[in-house]
């Protein structure tokens, strides 16, 4: 059973992202893409589960073909079908339920794409909110030490709250 572990921020996470970004660019070299470091490991000072989340924006999901998936697999990224998320292609690097890197592909400019950036950028710009998020994650880690689904679900309300604040702030600018 996988244990939920939230660790202090590591400056290595940015370096790990850069290494993986190069691999992903190589695997998808014939596609116009945009790559972003997302999730808690992308927010300086924020503790997280030590999983590097990477987001690729593409014109539409249908442009990703089997040969792209094969190239990603050569770099350790296994495609994991997630029918419950039809607007995303998901790839994991590492063991099942213990991945070290997650690759999320969205249509560039889609709501999912935009929300990921909105959340990340808001927490980057508001360190007190990032600190609150870290406290929540540590509480959830203690409550759901062996239940990753419950841990993730426990963050949902806070994430929606931040997205609402971020959208309101962005609109006011």
Q: Which residues of the chain have pLDDT under 50?
A: 172-173
pLDDT at 12: 97
Q: How large is the angle between the packed helices 148-172 and 127-143, nearest 10 degrees?
A: 160
pLDDT per position as a tens digit, 89-131:
999 998 776 679 999 999 999 999 999 999 999 999 999 999 9
Put simply, whether the predicted model's pTM sits higher than 0.85 gets the answer: yes
pLDDT at 81: 93
pLDDT at 140: 96
pLDDT at 173: 45
The number of angstroms, rounded, from the C-alpha of 41 to the middle of its chain's C-alpha atoms is 8
Q: Answer whether 92's CB lies under 8 Å from 140's CB.
A: no
pLDDT at 2: 74
Distance CA 17, CA 86 (A): 25
pLDDT at 46: 97
Residues 6 or more apart from 153 whose CB is under 8 A from it?
none
């Amino acid at each position: 059973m996988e244990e939920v572990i939230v660790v202090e921020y590591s400056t290595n996470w940015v370096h790990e992202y850069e290494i993986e970004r190069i691999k992903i660019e190589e695997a998808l070299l014939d596609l116009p893409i945009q790559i972003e470091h997302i999730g808690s490991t992308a927010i300086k000072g924020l503790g997280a589960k030590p999983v590097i989340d990477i987001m690729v924006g593409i014109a539409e999901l249908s442009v990703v073909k089997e040969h792209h998936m094969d190239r990603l697999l050569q770099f350790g990224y296994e495609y994991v079908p997630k029918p419950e998320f039809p607007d995303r292609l998901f790839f994991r690097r590492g063991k099942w339920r213990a991945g070290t890197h997650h690759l999320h592909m969205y249509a560039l400019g889609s709501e999912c794409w935009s929300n990921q950036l909105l959340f990340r950028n808001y927490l980057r710009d508001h360190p007190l909110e990032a600190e609150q998020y870290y406290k929540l994650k540590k509480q959830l880690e203690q409550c759901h030490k062996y239940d990753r689904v419950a841990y993730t679900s426990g963050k949902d309300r806070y994430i929606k709250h931040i997205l609402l604040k971020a959208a309101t702030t962005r609109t006011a600018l």
